[in-house]
Structure 1
């Protein structure tokens, strides 16, 4: 809070009764749905529900129930015909102007929170009302170009002397006090509350309670906690009371909210009107708290000489009026302190295991990215939503086929991404982990996909492969791929027809492979099956038109290589058939040869 300036202009004007009347007068000139806030029937500033003699602890409020400005806004009489003039009119400095940076911070916080939590219905005028009461709009807008109060705004030490007693929680990091905490900044957060709700709304890399942009954003989130809908009167009251547990504080803030809803304008930074009255100055510190006054013992007046005796009519018995029973002050239920969303508590993401993630194409990664969500003291935060995202040129996917996945941290603050499975594309990429709804630094994991490997290729059968020109090889050819003695499925093996084992160059003639499109090629790339085997079926290998000895050179990533011999022969030439002797011409038939048994003629 800024130092006390000037003198108290309206002594006693902040009592509950007068304030309630003032707020009612202001509300009467507003929209008809404006409901005047309730007021307790005491003139002191004390915690609701804590009793009249018990000082507030401050543990359940944003400010530690520290002092605040009690100046009320100027009230403009409706001046309608027949309007009552009996309501008290409280005057004050012209307060319609709000410093430009402060106004900008309130509007930016409203837009940001309405986009992330539209159900809260946060009005910027509520932030302006609290900012006015807590710091006089950052001491009239005394902020630098980044919106940081200069000098810093600090409240008194919360040592229990008239307000909360809070021992140091931040080692003086925010408030410079290593004995007691102090409320800090334009919205007067105590360090323990800022450690949970602090924001970096101006993206300068710092969460500074003295920065109006950071403080306004944090205040808006705090007021919207516990799923409050500030369009409802009950939720609105609860949110303000959670900031400072005082009914008088509630009434003062609501009076400024109503005032700013009538209209306002921007003024240059540093030219705002500073408030005067504060809840801990004037005669407030000397006035006993309600309920602690020493009762006055009535004394019997001594009759003076010459006092006339009452007339008989005045002593005549009459009806006895019942004793007046003092009205009991309304009991306000205790304010439920807001529950901070888990994500708000996170100060950083820590990488649990930073080993490099690797996998071969088409296989699952053996590990998964893991992070720990930690608060400012290094303790784990449970229930935080962590978003894992695959970035870079890759076809690797999470289980289920997506490139993003959201995981909630466990009771130990840990979150691991779903299983990763590599595609067929090799190369490096990144898995990035971020806190959902926060702008904290990301945790990045490097990952690499490599080809499947085989250090050995072996011919399964030793039968030679042979064929004649113009045909195809009728034998089946199988090659087994292994990596460190284990079968290597899914390995890409390149097969090339060559003419020499010592100088393996693709042959220009001879055998070839039958391509998928029916054309013949002399180089193919095939993948081993789940059993690690590469199989060429009969007919897959064509002999060609050139006889000779050829080879299939097979190679695999990882160094595996082997050769398969191919023999192509020309077809055998058949023997020529014998040519018959020609038959002599002249006689139609050969001459008859006499039989040996025939006898000569006589």
Structure 2
């Protein structure tokens, strides 16, 4: 979370009671089956662990704002020119650029992951709880915060202990991590969740467009459907693993769903209370055990003065400047380079899954395998190929042999070459680039679906249509490009100038059809064939991408006439 927004105001007892009742109601009605441990963290079996250390959540379980929305509805939105706002509309207002970022992220996820059903109001609820909508909308025209929004140092002092993973690149601290930006991503999560939401070619956690799109993808992983309450709860808890956080976000989600409106940037209402405004102290129970419960921070007695600082012994340093902590190198710290772990040639036909997967090995300087290291695989280049699930970025942890295997690649319709870049999350060492190619859809075999002879009288039309089936390796070849030509001879594939023909849109004779495509079952049915006055045997040649060829024989001949049988002679009938 960001630092405190100005001087804090303490809410009255009545407001506190109402807020507590609202949270309790939401907990009972919208978070079924959720229990908490003795630190208020979610402990339900419904939670799905993330391969990216979801126990730390997107934010490293950093502090968040606990203000609840007003109980009165934000509807109706304030009218223009009235000079008055109805109760609750101040809280319902969302700064224009911030609101635009949420709606653009929803639209992007609707296209990329339609099954997720992400509402922009959920991003608004999380943005409110994490940063007060980017400090009330203090952002530039491109969505970048006017000053950095940093959470507290995650040094284990009341928060999670997360040693530095980005060398201070995002948070300016090379010892411990901080949550960063309006959606409060910790650097290690941002490394794999980052997105470019405003199209400037950068992935900046301090930009609301980038951060909102990243948050949307984060909430939509694991195939969650956010229109389902259980999946919605799991997604929110994966962002910050606390039931109080869940209930607070759900409160704002419901509030924004009732109505909201755009306000100028920089004029948003700033939150007042944060989750770290309380301390945890034991409270006796009837069983004789104790469990920690939050209570107000102790205040100094009136008129008291600070205790004098102890005088350090001669020759020692000041107690206010303790020595830097000694840390044990993490597996990531020991990685010197990445190596290809036997990845084969990456080629797939458009629309197909790649049969081979990318394997990368993390090694020390001495060539020893390094386990438990995050490897980030990023698809780069002009391509619509994705990993399974529709993502262009995937993060995989190396196994005991130091190898990370990327998810399978799914080819799109765009052909050509692209690359997949493998890098170590949290380290700035050279990565490994894997070249991949998508080829056009192809067929290797063509056969007719009927064995009837194709015949016609001069000037007539063929009664039997020409239909063929295309296959590739024995499987129906769908959406394969094909061409049909009435050729001069088996040795001369140029178009004939006489014999059977097709008709164009104007009814004129044509003898070559291009731009044909097989259907989902690999079938191709040609248009009606006609014959001119030339009799004889003619050839129709059909070819497809991939080299499949079929030559079909067409016969144009006059209809046979049947002559009457001669009358028998008298001698033949007399029997003599």
TM-score range, shorter chain: 0.3 to 0.5
Bigger radius of gyration among the two: 1
- TM-score normalised by structure 2 residue count: 0.47
Larger % of helix: which? Answer: 2
